[in-house]
């Protein structure tokens, strides 16, 4: 049996190392599109204007202190309105090509949405017990160099004054004088040109998050994947859109269009949190709170078709591992160019963005995503698949303490050099090993008392088949991958979290190198 011993005088003290390899410098480019605005939060937040065709930033607008809650272009493209977070309490109107604020004012309520009128003469903000109309005096703003005060008038909410208005959209064409809002409680409301809330209808949902208004339709995004369609002329109901995939679905099995729609009575669906309508193509794009995107063809509401769909991680991605090149292509479990990711949403996901053939693999292209091949769920809890923090519904935010207590998610992963096995470690200290050929779990063991921060398989040149698992609990376990992952050795030299482990083979000796938050690197040599 082999064991690893500390090499004499090879403990090095240095600044806290986070990894032993530099990060990959290649980042994806944004897809070509019209110029658009990106809003930020955190330190020195800004509204950044990008020309996506040129892939360049054309303006940076920096006036908010804490973060930007929402932003909108005026239809004439002269102005951008940005609303800060509740503690910021500022509404700014920018002449973005000149990079100057032409009008501003304060707002006392939490604002989550803003929309410009069709003629760009005013805009409307919506939020917690708040709907306000802001009027731009274009002639005054264009002649005065200094920032002028914005003129604001509150909407007359009547008996609905205690609602949270989650989204707002100004009317178009024949309904240009009207303004439409939705409440989190599930009401679609219409304001007249006198700012009076005089019409509303029930959406028959537990929560409404977003809406999109065109000349002919109002689309309302609701809970449980529901999108309802109304006529803006009279608020009459027209249709309900199809729902997306259900939570926990095995997307690899969805190889036929009929597989998209679940017949399970207990199926749960992600909430619709954003949508926009393209009246030219009559396409409706929907974003759901499991970070999936669907584009629906709504030319015929009796026969709605799916144009495009994609599914992504619902929470932060902790690790990315490229599937190794296997000499014998018949033994490869995934097509060339594949990679695997793990996330706080408690899933492992197998991807291939190159369109490689899946011939010889147990995986096939599916109807949900063109690049996601398979989702491996660690348990049946679907709540981890939802991004509840980014819901537009302002009243659903979780307390920071409660969010911190949710120690779920896969923290790290590693694929064996022969491409047959995949090891993963979660934030609770559980180690799992999956067979990539059969896509089933081989091992699940509570290996550590705290989250597993790194995993590493030994390379073929070492002549061994080992798996090292290191954790925040300061321990390193060395497992025998050839003998059902039996424990060979536990190492405890580090006095703090271990952040990286690597195996090396040179000069006829095999070494294991580790580094951690104790500002040390240890070199250990394998001995029989």
Indicate the pLDDT class of residue 502, thresholds 50, 70 and 90.
very high
CB 488 within 8 A of CB 480: yes
Considering the chain, what percentage of its residues have pLDDT values greater than 90?
55
pLDDT digits (tens, 9 = 90+) for 28-53: 333 444 566 655 556 667 888 888 78
pLDDT digits (tens, 9 = 90+) for 137-159: 754 555 556 778 888 899 999 88
pLDDT of residue 362: 62
* DSSP run (H or E) holding 139: helix 138-143
Range 393-411 average pLDDT: 55
Residues 6+ apart with CB under 8 A from 195: 133, 153, 154, 155, 156
Closest CA to 153 of 102, 191, 206, 112: 191
In this structure, of 12-16, 62-66, 241-245, 278-282, the range with the lowest mean pLDDT score is: 12-16
C-alpha torsion angle, residues 225, 231, 232, 234 (rounded to 10): -130
Closest CA to 522 of 508, 501, 497: 501
In this structure, of 21-25, 406-410, 468-472, 487-491, the range with the lowest mean pLDDT score is: 21-25
CB 428 within 8 A of CB 451: yes
CB 61 within 8 A of CB 38: no
Strand order in the sheet with 47-51: 36-39, 47-51, 56-61
Q: Is the pLDDT of residue 77 over 90?
A: no
* CB-neighbour burial class of residue 139 (10 A; exposed 0-12, middle 13-18, buried 19+): exposed
* CB-neighbour burial class of residue 523 (10 A; exposed 0-12, middle 13-18, buried 19+): middle
Indicate the pLDDT class of residue 412, thresholds 50, 70 and 90.
very high
pLDDT of residue 331: 83
**What domains lie within the chain, and their CATH numbers?**
1-111 (2.130.10.10), 155-312 (2.130.10.10), 317-388+406-525 (2.130.10.10)
Task: Specify the pairing of strand 218-222 against strand 208-213.
Answer: antiparallel
Q: Is the pLDDT of residue 436 over 50?
A: yes
Residues 6+ apart with CB under 8 A from 266: none
Q: What are phi and psi of 501, to 5 degrees?
A: -135, 135
pLDDT of residue 38: 57
* CB-neighbour burial class of residue 516 (10 A; exposed 0-12, middle 13-18, buried 19+): buried
CB 243 within 8 A of CB 202: no
Report DSSP state, residue 325.
Answer: P
pLDDT of residue 14: 36
């Amino acid at each position: 049996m082999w064991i690893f011993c500390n090499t004499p005088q090879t403990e090095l003290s240095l600044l806290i190392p986070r990894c032993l390899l530099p990060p990959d410098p290649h980042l994806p480019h944004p897809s070509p599109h019209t110029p658009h605005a990106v809003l930020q939060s955190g330190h020195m937040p800004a509204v950044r204007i990008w020309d996506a065709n040129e892939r360049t930033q054309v303006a940076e607008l920096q006036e908010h202190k804490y973060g930007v809650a929402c932003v909108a272009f005026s239809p004439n493209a002269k102005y951008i309105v940005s609303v800060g977070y509740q503690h910021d309490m500022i509404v700014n109107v920018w002449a973005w090509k000149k990079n100057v604020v032409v009008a501003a004012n304060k707002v006392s309520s939490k604002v989550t949405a803003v929309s410009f009128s069709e003629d760009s003469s005013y805009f409307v903000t919506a939020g917690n017990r708040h709907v306000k109309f802001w009027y731009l005096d274009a002639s005054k703003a264009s002649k005065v160099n200094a920032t002028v005060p914005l003129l604001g008038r509150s909407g007359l909410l009547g008996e609905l004054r205690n609602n949270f208005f989650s989204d707002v959209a100004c009317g178009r064409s024949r309904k240009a004088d009207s303004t439409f809002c939705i409440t989190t409680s599930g009401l679609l409301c219409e304001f007249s040109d006198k700012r009076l809330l005089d019409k509303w209808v029930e959406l028959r949902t537990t929560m409404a998050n977003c809406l999109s208004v065109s000349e002919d339709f109002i689309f309302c995004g609701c809970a449980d994947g529901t999108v309802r369609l109304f006529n803006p002329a009279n608020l009459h109901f027209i249709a309900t859109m199809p729902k997306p995939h259900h939570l926990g679905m095995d997307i690899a099995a969805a190889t036929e269009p009929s597989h998209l729609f679940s017949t399970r009575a207990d199926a749960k669906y992600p909430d619709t949190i954003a949508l926009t309508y393209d009246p030219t193509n009559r396409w409706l794009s929907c974003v759901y709170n499991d970070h999936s995107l669907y584009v629906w063809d709504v030319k015929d509401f009796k026969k709605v078709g799916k144009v495009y769909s994609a599914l992504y991680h619902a929470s932060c991605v902790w690790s990315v591992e490229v599937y190794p090149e296997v000499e014998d292509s018949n033994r490869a479990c995934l097509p060339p160019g594949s990679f695997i990711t793990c996330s706080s949403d408690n899933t492992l996901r197998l991807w291939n963005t190159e369109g490689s053939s899946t011939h010889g693999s147990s995986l096939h292209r599916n109807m949900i995503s063109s690049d996601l091949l398979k989702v491996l769920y660690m348990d049946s809890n679907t709540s981890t698949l939802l991004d509840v923090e980014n819901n537009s519904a302002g009243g659903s935010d979780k307390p920071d303490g409660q969010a911190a207590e949710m120690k779920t998610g896969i923290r790290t992963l590693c694929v064996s050099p022969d491409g047959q096995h995949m090891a993963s470690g979660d934030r609770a200290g559980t180690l799992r090993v999956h067979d990539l050929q059969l896509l089933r779990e081989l091992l699940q063991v509570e290996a550590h008392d705290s989250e597993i921060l790194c995993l590493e398989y030994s390379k073929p040149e070492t002549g061994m088949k080992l798996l090292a698992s290191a954790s925040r609990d300061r321990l390193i376990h060395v497992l025998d991958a050839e003998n059902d992952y039996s424990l060979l050795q536990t190492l405890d030299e580090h006095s703090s979290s271990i952040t990286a482990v690597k195996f090396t083979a040179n000069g006829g000796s095999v070494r294991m190198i580790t580094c951690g938050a104790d500002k040390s690197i240890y070199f250990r040599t394998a001995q029989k």
